Structure 1
């Protein structure tokens, strides 16, 4: 097979979405343990929105190709990789590099996509599904009959969290703007207007507090999230969206958040606080991969059985990724903005 010419969307520096550039690059054949994948679907997550501001905690130096996850078809494999993978639809967490028509991925990171899911549907559940599943079932360990609060319930992770909780028999309250209240209710959550008095609204629904809060916002509102917990409840923080436009060292808001969470855990308050990072434990590579495959497999199974419904906010061609990024940052959509490859556009 001749070398592939990949079309890549490059983030050249701290630019507005329209500052993204498109370039072609020749890819060599995959090396040992690798697979060459034709991207069918990727997307815009909050990580890429932070990266373009230079605010993602451990992003590479500019310029680079963003793209946190992909779904695609395996075209060719390197030495030591099962040749049966060729022609299979797979998913992978990539962290960067996904905004490309073709890319080389370590074969150990590939997770099979069930035949009953389209590429776009599967894409909405990769980083969002792993994140939501692990926070709900591994971090907070919420049980059937309990109640949770999901901030940003109309977003990619939030909408997946709501559906996973419903599938597990968990009651959900979700914050969103008033215009997205109907969409949040349709997902199966009791909507709360985040522009109003959130603590008062949540306490009216759950006077005794909630069993878990999932907070990607951080900032001053994290205090309300913690105080809304019932005794024995768990706060899972997984972002600092409130500080995304602040100038200065991008590590400082995260450091402040860590200190606050540690302080709360040191208090005799019978409540728990933790930070979720999807890449935690990746140094134990085989264990990390096994968990991702297990958890994403469980999410895909629920989706294939109809218990989860993909929330696709828009479907935009790769060469128009600037438009996809701007739309995702607008805060006007429910679900995930999906970017599709040339063959699917």
Structure 2
């Protein structure tokens, strides 16, 4: 099969397009013919070696954890999916090697859900990692409740945009940091945009004088510090970007594959309650260019890589 892979840690220059062996299908996996895969910041951080303390790389590594596609072969013990089923998945193992930037991926059933029929493969590919992250942080870590006020950083990004939508669906007031060019977008999502940068803490206190019930940090550094400063006395804090959150009494979160959570998100997408904005689309051969764009950190929604499809 054709795939993107890398044989050493490094910049996007180490990514190569070429032939890789077809995946083997285990008893509780299905072979998915990939239609689209999403680029996530964690992908290039892993490629550059920042995660090697916790995720061993078995080179060569095919990157990518998000996928949408069609089942072409179920494993011997699989009765959840059949040939022809359209699926989405957050296909993460506890090591780096067999990712989704390829024509095929062998996906454990615990990582999959049925694709929402009302959206295309490109949008669907952007839902799993970001949607699961937002859902798990809001509902399991922060335990947001109706009527609370929630701060979401980088509210126009992949995780942030879904967090805004999910928190609003939970009945929360949502304040989202974003650049001025994304304020209209954050408003359309249901959030109240506020510009990040110098003076952020003061702007947040003007909007929410009593402090936030919950703050969701997706950036780290100064954003994390400001989040801690603007919490209500009993406010809760979580970060997916900076382990320094522990020093503020908060929680660090790393998304987990969960078929039930993913099916729940797919249902919300089917109903039009949450959506994924596709910023740009690249072909599999252009994956290195897609990664370079993602590394700039200015993406609205998701960058998607598509795989040529032949019946």
Fold match by TM threshold 0.5: yes
Q: Pick from 54, 58, 69: which aligns with 1:58?
A: 54
Per-residue deviation, 1:59: 3.2
Conserved 8 A contact 2:215-2:231: yes
Alpha-carbon deviations, 1:135-188, whole Å to 9, x = none? 111111111221111111111000000111122221111112222222222222
**Matched residue, 1:210:** 212
Measured at CA, do residues 212 and 51 of structure 1 come closer, stay the same or move farther in structure 2, by a change above 3 Å?
A: same
Conserved 8 A contact 1:18-1:323: no
**Matched residue, 1:101:** 103
Moved more, 115-124 or 226-235: 115-124
**Matched residue, 1:17:** 12
Per-residue deviation, 1:10: 1.0
Matched, 1:275 2:289: no
Root-mean-square deviation (CA, aligned residues, Å) is 2.0
5 Å matches for 1:308-323? Answer: 308-323=274-289
In the aligned structure 1, how far is the partner of 2:224 from the partner of 2:85? 43
Per-residue deviation, 1:117: 2.7
Conserved 8 A contact 1:47-1:68: no
Measured at CA, do residues 28 and 172 of structure 1 come closer, stay the same or move farther in structure 2, by a change above 3 Å?
A: closer
Alpha-carbon deviations, 1:212-241, whole Å to 9, x = none? 11112222542221121112211011113x
Matched, 1:302 2:297: no
Per-residue deviation, 1:308: 1.4
**Matched residue, 1:75:** 72
5 Å matches for 1:84-163? Answer: 85-95=82-92, 96=96, 97-163=99-165
In the aligned structure 2, how far is the partner of 1:174 from the partner of 1:75? 41
In the aligned structure 2, how far is the partner of 1:227 from the partner of 1:9? 43
Alpha-carbon deviations, 1:76-115, whole Å to 9, x = none? 1232222851110112222351111111122343212232
In the aligned structure 2, how far is the partner of 1:304 from the partner of 1:143? 23
Moved more, 125-134 or 331-340: 331-340
Matched, 1:334 2:311: no
In the aligned structure 2, how far is the partner of 1:135 from the partner of 1:7? 35
Measured at CA, do residues 83 and 112 of structure 1 come closer, stay the same or move farther in structure 2, by a change above 3 Å?
A: closer
In the aligned structure 1, how far is the partner of 2:234 from the partner of 2:157? 27
Per-residue deviation, 1:11: 2.5
DSSP 3-state at the match of 1:212: strand
Q: Normalising by structure 2, report the TM-score.
A: 0.90
Gaps of 5+ in 1: 1-5, 241-253, 266-272, 280-288
In the aligned structure 2, how far is the partner of 1:154 from the partner of 1:27? 37
Per-residue deviation, 1:206: 0.2
Alpha-carbon deviations, 1:284-322, whole Å to 9, x = none? xxxxx6xx2222222111111111122111111111101
Q: Pick from 162, 171, 174: which aligns with 2:173?
A: 171
In the aligned structure 1, how far is the partner of 2:207 from the partner of 2:110? 45
Gaps of 5+ in 2: none
Moved more, 216-225 or 316-325: 216-225
